Amino acid sequence: MLNGHAVENFTLSTQSVNAANSLAQEAERASTSERALYVDYEEARERGDEERAAAIYSMMDGSTRRAIEWWRGQPAGDRPLTPFKSANPEWAAPATIIDAREALERASSQLEQANIDLNKSHSLEFIAALLTVTFLLGGLSGVFQSPRAKATLVTASGTALGVCLIAMVVLW
């Protein structure tokens, strides 16, 4: 039963890592693309090529355009060097990065739970093997003619059964 939980949590952990990596790649790709457009846009403006600047500006996504407008609206002395700073509330990339970090935290938590479940599963499998030996000892007691041998095997079997029950209560 716990093996199934461990496998499920390992699977969920892997899915969360994949989602986080996908989000991080998407954020990086979008950020790089938007920054390249911004550099081209600023170069066109500096050269006075307003038609090219307008064309490049139209290719930017809405959040980048809002980030540029927010940046331009800041006083020159307080303005960051670029609109692509986390201080800019209009820049959308930090939100995607935060989502990726949250997905990685979920993955870490699920992986930790999977390891706990797997360790419990291994302990319970050991107890199951010990129970098998315990019942074998109890069954062998009927084979012997000597009352002392029978009593010894039944006592050993009962003791092992008690240890197994206590271990199951503790580990479950």
Residue written as token pair 């006075």: 48
Question: What pLDDT, on a 0 to 100 scale, did the predictor assign at position 1?
Answer: 52
Question: What pLDDT, on a 0 to 100 scale, did the predictor assign at position 94?
Answer: 63
Contact 20, 101 (CB under 8 A): yes
7-26 pLDDT, tens digit each: 777 787 788 778 778 877 88
Task: Tell me the C-alpha distance between 168 and 126, whole Å.
Answer: 10
pTM above 0.85, yes or no: no
Task: Tell me the C-alpha distance between 151 and 133, whole Å.
Answer: 17
Q: Which long-range contacts (CB under 8 A, 24 or more apart) does 105-108 make?
A: 106/16, 107/12, 107/13, 107/14, 107/16, 107/17, 107/20, 108/13
Contact 6, 114 (CB under 8 A): yes
Question: What pLDDT, on a 0 to 100 scale, did the predictor assign at position 30?
Answer: 80
Mean pLDDT calculated for residue range 133-155: 85
Task: Tell me the C-alpha distance between 66 and 168, whole Å.
Answer: 61
DSSP classification of residue 168:
H
Question: What pLDDT, on a 0 to 100 scale, did the predictor assign at position 51?
Answer: 94
Helix (H, G, I), strand (E, B) or coil at 45: helix
Report residue 2's pLDDT band, with 50, 70 and 90 as the boundaries: low
Helix (H, G, I), strand (E, B) or coil at 74: coil
- Of 126, 113, 109, 115, the C-alpha closest to 163 is 126
Report residue 144's pLDDT band, with 50, 70 and 90 as the boundaries: confident
88-134 pLDDT, tens digit each: 787 776 677 777 778 778 878 878 888 888 888 888 888 888 888 88
28-85 pLDDT, tens digit each: 888 888 889 999 999 999 999 999 999 999 999 888 899 899 988 999 888 888 888 8
